[in-house]
């Protein structure tokens, strides 16, 4: 059945052309959504703009109550949401359940944070003045999200926007709009005022063009590739749009020779193979100090060889399909390039055609180096390339030799070495003996070409607020 747009509290888009949504595990059509464009985007922005005075005028406690209601509804419908997510993007059902909880946690945490949106009083330089800093919601927010976290990337933006008093217009990825539409049905149940939460699907370039040109949109929050992020930044220049950009990554995992090897192996496997290697913070390059290089590779290869690949709905599957065939082609290109330049294949190294066109074997490559594509480009797939290093300084230099700066991982039992190394890493997020660092209450975001701003934590709310300085003469 065709799902619809949620705009101004109503379902619309029946008349529009339809886009099919495919299940990457089976290639079956799993749903249909309307192909919206500039007009639909403009209508949604108008609705959000009209309700802005009402929404910002509510107390933080009132806004939090709506958000809490949605949070509880998401948990109540966890199983159903997880099923939709696995069916449209392929991640194993256990991971999908985890994502529903993670996604809901942004509503819970920011509902509470709404009540702590403090301003400031500054001591004045003369007796007859009172200097104050007030916080104001930035205005209508437009959110554009990717397919790899179909719910969490929406709520990580909705949470702080709604808490701050900003209505939101969202455009999910064309690959995964069904989870997003189900979330809108829950928003309807939570009875947000019409226009506070809106969602449209369709042509990304047309919807993007309207969002960037429409003066009512005061802030863009985007998660996706660095390439599209740069386009949006250019398009936003004319109106000096507020921008938050959560972009690509190429995370290094550095394993020092005093690491607990088993902990490092398990941590690296979690970081690398979660979501089939399709997260922006997935380890994409593993550097292991020479004294433990062989031991690490041997144990890591054993763990990877046991990962079960298949349809994410089946019990016990660790790695599902990639999002589409282009994803498989990119992964295979990286592997073939590395092998042709001298890397050795320890595990995997090919598609699993028997399962369908979107599956790729979890793969371990040994003796890679920086001449290889895989050490320079985001792979977004289940391939772990491993390179040896000698000194901590060399590890930092290798880790930093990328235009990206999102997440890095360090495995060491030494506080002294860990602290020195991390201080030298140009990365916005570091997991120290930890392969899964994300949490709603912590600032998530990158340095360098991985983006601008932070999502989550108090910093996440700040990005949806304007600072207004008020000087009062008394
Ligand atoms: P993408 O191709 O950049 O797409 C992201 C979103 O932008 C989608 O909704 C897409 O819509 C839309 N889009 C594409 N072209 C556009 C344009 N010209 N104007 C406006 N919107 C446009 O990225 P993806 O392949 O979906 O996601 C993977 C990327 O996201 C990776 O690079 C990953 O590292 C990054 N990511 C970053 C984070 C983070 O927090 N830093 C988190 C998750 C993912 P359509 O899909 O409908 O074309």
Going from N- to C-terminal start, the domains of the chain cover: 5-247+450-473, 251-439
176 ligand 1 Cβ < 6 A? no
Residue 282 is a catalytic residue: no
In this structure, the residue with its CA closest to atom 48 of ligand 1 is: 204
Residue of 147, 213, 224 to mutate, ligand 1, most atoms within 8 A of C-beta: 224
CB contact burial 70-107 (16+ within 10 A = b; e otherwise):
bbebbeebbeebbbbbbbbbbbbbebbbbbbbbbbbbb
Q: What is the mean pLDDT of each run of 10 residues along the chain (474 residues)?
A: 93 97 98 98 98 98 98 98 98 98 98 97 98 98 98 98 98 98 98 98 98 98 98 97 98 98 98 98 98 98 98 97 98 98 98 98 98 97 98 98 98 98 98 97 98 97 98 98
Residue among 179, 204, 276 whose CB has most ligand 1 atoms within 8 A, to mutate: 204
Residue of 19, 89, 90, 146 best suited for mutating to test ligand 1, as the one with most atoms within 8 Å of CB: 146
Region of residue 90 (phi > 0: left; psi between -120 and 50: alpha; otherwise: beta): left
Fold of 5-247+450-473: Aldehyde Dehydrogenase; Chain A, domain 1 (3.40.605)
Helix axes 93-113, 152-164, angle to 10 degrees: 10
The ligand 1 atom at the shortest distance from the C-alpha of residue 171 is 9
User: What pLDDT, on a 0 to 100 scale, did the predictor assign at position 377?
Assistant: 96
Q: What's the CA-to-centroid distance between 461 and ligand 1, angstroms?
A: 22
Query: Which residue, among 68, 103, 81, has the nearest Cα to 190 in the 3D structure?
Result: 68
* Nearest Cα to Cα of residue 195 among 225, 170, 226, 222: 170
CA of 123 to the centre of ligand 1 (A): 45
Q: Say if residues 432 and 410 touch (Cβ distance below 8 Å).
A: yes
Does residue 244 line the site of ligand 1, with CB under 6 A? Answer: no
| Cα 126 to ligand 1 centre (Å) | 51
Residue nearest to atom 39 of ligand 1 (CA): 246
Which atom of ligand 1 is closest in space to residue 172's alpha carbon? 9
Position in ligand 1 atom list of the atom nearest CA 246: 41
Cα distance between residue 60 and residue 56, in whole Å:
9
Q: How far is the CA of 146 from the centre of ligand 1 (A)?
A: 4
Task: Using alpha carbons, list the distances in angstroms from residue 143 to 89, 153, 201, 269.
Answer: 20, 9, 12, 31
CA–CA dist 204, 188 (Å, integer) = 24
- Cβ of 148 less than 6 Å from ligand 1: yes
Provide the pLDDT for residue 223: 98
Are domains 5-247+450-473 and 251-439 of this chain identical in fold?
no
Nearest CA to ligand 1 atom 18: 205
Which residue is catalytic, options 280, 358, 378, 455?
A: 280
Active site annotation includes 280 = yes
Residue in 113, 246, 378, 455 annotated catalytic = 246
Distance CA 401, CA 201 (A): 37
What is the Cα–Cα distance from 25 to 42, expressed in whole angstroms?
35
Using a 6 Å cutoff on CB, does residue 443 contact ligand 1? no
Alpha-carbon distance of 36 to 55, in angstroms, equals: 26
| Distance in angstroms (rounded) separating the CA atoms of residues 79 and 98 | 10
Q: Ligand 1 centre and the CA of 376: distance in Å?
A: 19
Distance 168 CA to ligand 1 centre (A): 18
181: exposed, middle or buried (Cβ count in 10 Å: 0-12, 13-18, 19+): buried
How remote is the CA of residue 408 from the centroid of ligand 1, in Å? Answer: 21
pLDDT of residue 2: 83
Ligand 1 center from residue 356 Cα (angstroms): 25
Q: Which residue lies with its CA nearest to atom 28 of ligand 1?
A: 224
- Ligand 1 touching residue 281 (CB < 6 A): no
Fold of 251-439: Aldehyde Dehydrogenase; Chain A, domain 2 (3.40.309)
Length reported for the chain? 474
Is the CB–ligand 1 distance for residue 225 below 6 Å?
yes
**Residue 240 CB neighbour total at 10 angstroms:** 8
Q: Which atom of ligand 1 is nearest to the CA of 231?
A: 18
Q: What is the pLDDT of residue 138?
A: 98
């Amino acid at each position: 059945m065709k799902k619809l747009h949620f705009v101004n509290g109503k379902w619309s888009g029946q008349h529009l052309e339809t886009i099919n949504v495919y299940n990457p595990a089976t290639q079956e059509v799993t749903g249909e959504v309307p192909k919206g464009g500039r007009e639909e985007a403009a209508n949604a922005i108008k609705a959000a703009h009209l309700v802005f005075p009402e929404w910002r005028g509510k107390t933080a406690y009132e806004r939090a109550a709506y958000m809490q209601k949605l949070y509880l509804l998401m948990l109540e419908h966890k199983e159903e949401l997880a099923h939709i997510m696995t069916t449209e993007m392929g991640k194993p059902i256990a991971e999908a359940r985890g994502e529903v909880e993670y996604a809901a946690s942004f509503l819970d945490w920011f509902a509470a944070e709404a009540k702590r949106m403090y301003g400031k009083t500054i001591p004045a330089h003369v007796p007859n003045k009172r200097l104050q800093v007030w916080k104001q919601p930035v205005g209508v927010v437009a959110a554009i999200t990717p397919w790899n976290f179909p719910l969490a990337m929406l709520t990580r933006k909705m949470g702080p926007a709604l808490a701050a008093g900003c209505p939101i217009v969202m455009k999910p990825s064309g690959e995964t709009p069904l989870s997003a539409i189900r979330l809108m049905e829950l928003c309807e149940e939570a009875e947000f005022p019409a226009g506070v939460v809106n969602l449209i699907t369709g042509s990304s370039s047309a919807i993007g063009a309207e969002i960037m040109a429409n003066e009512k949109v005061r802030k863009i929050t985007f998660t996706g590739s660095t390439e599209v992020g740069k386009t949006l930044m250019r398009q936003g220049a004319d109106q000096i749009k507020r921008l938050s950009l959560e972009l690509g990554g190429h995370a290094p995992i550095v394993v020092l020779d005093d690491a607990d090897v088993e902990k490092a192996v398990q941590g690296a496997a979690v970081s690398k193979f979660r979501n089939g290697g399709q997260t922006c913070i997935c380890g994409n390059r593993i550097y292991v100090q020479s004294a433990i290089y062989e031991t690490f590779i041997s144990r890591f290869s054993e763990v990877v060889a046991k990962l079960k690949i298949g349809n994410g709905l089946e019990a016990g599957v660790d790695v599902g399909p990639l999002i589409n065939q282009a994803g498989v082609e990119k992964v295979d290109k990286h592997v073939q390039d590395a092998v042709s330049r001298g890397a050795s294949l320890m595990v995997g190294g090919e598609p699993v055609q028997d399962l369908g066109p979107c599956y790729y074997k979890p793969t371990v490559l040994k003796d890679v180096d920086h001449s290889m594509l895989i050490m320079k480009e985001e792979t977004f797939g289940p391939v772990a390339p491993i390179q040896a290093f000698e000194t901590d300084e060399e590890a930092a230099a290798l880790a930093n030799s990328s235009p990206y700066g999102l997440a890095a991982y360090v495995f060491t039992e030494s506080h002294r070495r860990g602290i020195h190394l991390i201080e030298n890493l140009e990365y916005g997020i570091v997991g120290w003996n930890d392969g899964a660092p994300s949490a709603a209450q912590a600032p998530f975001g990158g340095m360098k070409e991985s983006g601008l701003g932070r999502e989550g934590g108090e910093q996440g709310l700040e990005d949806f607020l304007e600072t207004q300085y008020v000087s009062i003469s008394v």
